[in-house]
């Protein structure tokens, strides 16, 4: 019994040590980006997401990509959206709890951003209506500053998620629709999909898509999970719910970077 107790204590100590190492690395990332709250975003969720036992791999991949992704998407809108998404889809319980806690932090940051944006819009309207104040140099300067800030806020709201440059693979998406009534919606998506670096050359009518239980994103190479998941995030933002399907059996018949979006 004593040996078992020591063994359990040893496992616990090792787990705590690994977690402390992880927290130390997170601290380095936080230091690197200054006072910005840590955002842990990971588009490549095929690593450990297929197997709950692969939590360590998730952490390793997080360490690898976190800094670059933080820099690329360091604004309150993207951080909140991605934190919310991964707090729901991450199968690793510990990582999911981390996402949930982080979401609460960035949600406050997002709400403050929206509040200040609204106040700026109100102040801008006041300045524009005050014809006498417009003759005041200080008022003109304030108007200029607020207008510039609102433009920047709008850019932040509209800018798509930015992914790190990924080797030489150019992802391409083939959109399949089950009914022509979906064609206009699919066409509207194409430019937005291109905005995240995925080509969407055209739309094909495939009647069998109507029989699907849900909309699907299909990919055939393991490394393409990064593209499938970034596409799913985009579609979620457009109110289109999808399921992701990895179909390696067709790998030999497709090129790396090939994806399909099936809209029922």
Q: Mind listing the pLDDT tens digit for each residue in 86-130?
A: 777 666 677 778 878 888 998 999 999 999 999 999 999 888 887
Q: Mind listing the pLDDT tens digit for each residue in 140-190?
A: 888 889 999 999 999 888 887 777 665 567 899 999 999 888 899 899 899
User: Which pLDDT does position 104 carry in this prediction?
Assistant: 92
For the chain, which domains are there? Answer: 17-162 (no CATH), 172-263 (3.30.70)
Backbone angles phi, psi at 246, to 5 degrees: -95, 120
Does this model's pTM top 0.85? no
* Highest-scoring range by mean pLDDT, 3-17, 23-37, 82-96, 197-211: 197-211
**Closest alpha carbon to 198 in 172, 165, 233, 236:** 172
User: Which pLDDT does position 68 carry in this prediction?
Assistant: 60
Q: Which helix (H) or strand (E) holds 261?
A: strand 258-263
Q: Mind listing the pLDDT tens digit for each residue in 192-238?
A: 898 888 999 989 999 888 889 899 999 999 888 888 888 998 898 88
Residues 6 or more apart from 38 whose CB is under 8 A from it?
A: 26, 29, 30, 70, 102
- Tell me the C-alpha to C-alpha distance, in Å, between residue 37 and each of 34, 202, 223, 249, 254: 8, 40, 29, 42, 41
Cα–Cα distance for residue pair 103/80, rounded to 1 Å: 6
Q: Taking a C-beta distance cutoff of 8 angstroms, is the pair 84, 103 a contact?
A: yes
Q: Is the dihedral of CA 74, 189, 237, 178 positive or negative?
A: negative
User: Which pLDDT does position 52 carry in this prediction?
Assistant: 40
């Amino acid at each position: 019994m004593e040996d078992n107790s020591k063994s359990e204590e040893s496992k616990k100590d090792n787990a705590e040590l690994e977690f402390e190492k992880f927290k130390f690395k997170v601290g380095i990332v936080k230091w690197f980006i200054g006072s910005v709250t840590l955002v842990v975003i990971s588009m490549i969720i095929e690593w450990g997401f297929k197997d709950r036992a692969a939590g360590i791999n998730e952490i390793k991949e997080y360490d690898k990509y976190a800094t670059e992704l933080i820099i690329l998407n360091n604004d309150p809108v993207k951080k909140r959206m991605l934190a919310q998404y991964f707090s729901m889809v991450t199968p690793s319980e510990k990582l999911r709890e981390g996402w949930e806690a982080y979401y609460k932090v960035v949600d406050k940051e997002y709400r403050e951003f929206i509040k200040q944006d609204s106040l700026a819009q109100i102040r801008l309207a006041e300045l524009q209506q005050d014809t006498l104040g417009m003759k005041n140099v200080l008022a003109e300067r304030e108007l200029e500053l607020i207008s510039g800030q609102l433009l920047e806020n709008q850019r932040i709201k509209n800018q798509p998620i930015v992914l790190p440059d990924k080797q030489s693979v150019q992802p391409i998406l083939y959109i399949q629709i089950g009914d022509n009534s979906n064609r206009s919606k699919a066409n509207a998506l194409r430019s937005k999909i291109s905005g995240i670096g995925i080509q969407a050359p055209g739309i094909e009518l495939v009647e069998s898509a109507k029989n699907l239980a849900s909309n699907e994103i299909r990919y055939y190479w393991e490394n393409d999970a990064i593209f499938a998941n970034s596409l799913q995030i985009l579609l979620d933002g457009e109110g289109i719910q999808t399921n992701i399907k990895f179909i390696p059996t067709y790998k030999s018949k497709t090129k790396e970077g090939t994806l399909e979006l099936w809209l029922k």
